[in-house]
Structures are given as structure tokens and as C-alpha cells.
Structure 1
């Protein structure tokens, strides 16, 4: 199938570029590691009312939120690289190639998903060394949720980058979106601590559902409704985001 072949070719090229400059992988994982090492130890007393009276329980609450944070921010700022390619004429030269326009987007986005999952594995391994306990099957399902989030945010970032075509416009726009998403998703602290009105507002944030689902998986409660609710909501939004970004990409390289 041409789309699959073209996507694989673009994915290989983008991955090779990432491997040649692994500093971006290191930079991407640095901040979450700092949160893990310097912020997580402060949470045990704060999370005690939720039953997190051991290191394992504390990390089961904190690590899923941290990984969702990594997926959101790791994807939202991928558009900067695309703007650089626009300025260098790389996207312009793509017009004369027979490669599928959708593959140009999907190959890049899948590279971002793989990069995110590598970083997530690093964070998880460090957390396991610090006391986290989680079942492998539940962890893999949580990684699927993270992959969907990374695919969604990366494609949205690429689509917006093609519209604004400027780092000066993209940076404040992404920060404006990311800030309320962070505060209304219970990433660092569960929203159980929040007043009821804030919890109601957070119900409209799809990433809040994703965090709840990821925490249920880390806690070993795969039957919790938040798991399938989070996967369904994020899955639907991801499909819509990919379709929108693909159309923006097709118009830009037509």
C-alpha cells in the first residue's frame, strides 16, 4: 500500500535525523526527571489523604500525570521544527515528489510518538527504581494512551505551524493552550483536592480524563470506567486532529 510505504519512508528519515541529534531526546526528558527527583518526594505527605501512604502508592498517582504532561508538551512544540523546514524550503521541495501528502504528516508524527515513548520508558524505569510498582499489561495500555495523546498534540502543532508559519506566533499560542490544559487536568496533583466548581470545569478538559484513566491503570484497576472513557475521548479527538492537520498539510504542499 502506497500510504504505508510512504509513511514508513518519512518515518525512517525523520527518525534518522533525531538519532543524529539525540540532544533533543535528552532535553525532552530532563524536565520530567527533575520533577521526578525533586518534586515527587514532596508529595507523599500531601497525598496521604488519598491513601498514598507508601512510595509505591505515591508514584502510582504522580507518575501517570507526569507522563501525560510529557506527552502533551512533547507534542505541542513539534511545530517549531516544521517551521524551520518551511523556511529552508524542504516542504516546498516536497511538492515535486510522489510521496503522499498524508504520509508527510503521519511519518513525522509517528517519529514524535516513538520519541515520547522512549522518554516515557526512561521515566518509568527511574520510577521503578524509586519504588513504583505497576503491572506490565496495564503499563502497556497506559503507553497506548500516551501514544494517542502524543499523536494528537503533534499533529495539532504541525497544523497550527502551517497556518501561522512563524515561531513568534506559535510559541505564545501553544503556551496559551498548554497552561489551562495543565492546570485543569490534575497532572501534578489530583483534582480531588480541588473545589467542586473547578472539578466541573475540568470535566470539559479531555486530558483530565486521560490522567484519570492512566492513574487507574497504574493502580491496577483496568476495569475502572475512566480507562475506557479516557481511551475513547482521546482516540476520537486524535482522529479529528489527524484529519484536520492532514488537510492543512495537503493544502500547504499542493
Structure 2
């Protein structure tokens, strides 16, 4: 009976070559599918998310047409519907950190961190998940508004949804970063979210035009990325796709996405320490 021997430089652990290489896209897809499963099992949550935009369109739209229709210089629906879609994206993605808070309290987040899935993929997969129902809801809103006279440029409407998806990834990533930053004081998440959300929304010219507002309000809105995205959506719906307004909207959406992903990934990596 011979004794087992180990040659120098060998080990009983599997070699690095034997381990499968991780793919960022594959890991992102795994996280995305995992996060979408609860949504697929509860489709009524998507229908519930349609209540807010349809209420704004049904109640605020006619008031806007009667009081400020002339000041808008064109079709009220082409002006207001893109703003409502941006509002839906902002509301939907800015609260995504609350889902992460549930994972933090239940221990799911810690279990995900010890998996081989990359930290950036975990963040991007979660952020993409939030955009799937929002894009679906926005598409339904467009279809519902067609019988009421909405006639957007088809390509412009599609590009607007894509632009809002890019913006939403950034906002959702920032929301996740906020949830991780205040994980020991969960109530602080809602304080910060509400404090930031409404000024950003109102200073985007989303509900009323800002051209006749006070000078300080116009100055603050000039540094609000959402304003450029809202204006871009209106120009795209009107078919003015080659305008600088649309270009600046894409710059604002991409800048928000990059900032959100950088901040979110750093927060996700630090949460594993």
C-alpha cells in the first residue's frame, strides 16, 4: 500500500484554469431574470403603476389645455404626454432602493454578495429590471392616448422611451446607492428621496412651462438634467429629431446613467467589505 505523494508546486485545490470565467453580460442577465420573476408572477403590479400617469393625463391634461394651451404653442398632448412619461420614470426608479432595503433586512443582499456574480452586474441587473415594467407601462400610456388625439412621431416616441430607459438606469442606480448609504437608518432613505424628487420634478418644466417663471427658477432649472430630457421628449414627439434639444437630452440622460452606475457600483463593492 503506497502513500500518496504531492509533487512540489502542486496543491489539492482546483486550478484557476479549471474555474469557469465569469461574463459580465451573463451575470447581468442572471440577476435581471431573477429580479423579473416576482414581476411576472404579479402582473397586477404593472396595472397599478398605470394609475398615476393616467390620472395626471385625465385630470391635469384638460386643465392644462384650457389654461395654458395657447402658451404651449402647439398640441397640448405632444407637450404633456412626454412629461408624464418622464414623471413615471422618475417616480418608478427613484424608489427602487426600497426594494434593496427589503433584501438588506432579510439577508438576501448578503447572500447575493457571496455568490460568484460580479458586483457591477448585480447593480446593473437590478437597475435594468426596474426599467422593464416602466417601459411597458409607458407603451400602454401611449396606446391609451392615441384615441384622444395624441399623434407622436413614431420614431421620436420610440427614441424617447429608450432615452427614458437610459435615464432610469442612472436614477435607479443612485437610489440603490442611497439605500446602501443609509442602511442603518432606513427612514432616511425616504427623507432624502422625497426632498430631492419634487424639486427636481417641478424645476424640469414638467407640469408648467418655466419661461415665465422667476429668474432664479430658470437659473436653477438650467442645471437640472431632467429638464433637458423632458424638452428632448417633447421635441422627439413633435418629430424634430435633428434638433440640439434632442441632443442635449441624450447628453443629460447618458451623464445621469454614467454617474449613477459609477456611484452605485462603488457603493455595491463597499457593501461587501
Please classify the TM superposition score into its range, dividing by the shorter chain length: over 0.9
Structure 2 unaligned blocks of 5 or more: 1-21
The residue aligned with 2:107 is: 89
> Which of 228, 242, 262 pairs up with 1:243?
262
- After superposing on structure 2, the runs of 4+ consecutive aligned residues of structure 1 that deviate more than 4 Å are none
Q: Are the counterparts in 2 of residues 91 and 253 from structure 1 also a CA contact under 8 Å?
A: no
Describe the SS at the equivalent of 2:242: coil
Deviations 1:158-197 (A, max 9, x none): 0100110143111111000001101100111122232343
> Which of 199, 207, 211 pairs up with 1:192?
211
The residue aligned with 1:209 is: 228
Q: Map residues 1-254 of structure 1 onto 2, 5 A cutoff.
A: 2-45=23-66, 46-52=68-74, 57-165=75-183, 166-254=185-273
Tell me, in whole angstroms, the C-alpha distance in 2 between the residues paired with 1:197 and 1:175: 22
Query: What RMSD in Å do the two structures reach over aligned CA positions?
Result: 1.4
Q: Are the counterparts in 1 of residues 166 and 257 from structure 2 also a CA contact under 8 Å?
A: yes
Describe the SS at the equivalent of 1:192: coil
| 1:253 to partner: Cα distance | 2.7
Higher gyration radius (CA): 2
Residues 1:160 and 1:39: Cα distance change in structure 2 (over 3 Å):
same
Deviations 1:55-88 (A, max 9, x none): xx11000001111111111110011110000110
Deviations 1:68-125 (A, max 9, x none): 1111111100111100001100011123211111111111110111111011111111
Residues 1:152 and 1:221: Cα distance change in structure 2 (over 3 Å):
same
| 1:147 to partner: Cα distance | 0.5
Tell me, in whole angstroms, the C-alpha distance in 1 between the residues paired with 2:154 and 2:195: 36
Structure 1 unaligned blocks of 5 or more: none
Tell me, in whole angstroms, the C-alpha distance in 2 between the residues paired with 1:150 and 1:104: 16
Tell me, in whole angstroms, the C-alpha distance in 2 between the residues paired with 1:77 and 1:215: 25
| 1:136 to partner: Cα distance | 1.3
Tell me, in whole angstroms, the C-alpha distance in 2 between the residues paired with 1:105 and 1:67: 24
- Tell me the matched-pair count: 250
| More helix, by proportion | 1
The residue aligned with 2:11 is: none
Describe the SS at the equivalent of 1:191: coil
Deviations 1:138-162 (A, max 9, x none): 1111111110121111100001001
Greater alpha carbon shift after TM alignment, 155-164 vs 195-204 = 195-204
Tell me, in whole angstroms, the C-alpha distance in 2 between the residues paired with 1:94 and 1:134: 43
Q: Are the counterparts in 2 of residues 181 and 207 from structure 1 also a CA contact under 8 Å?
A: yes
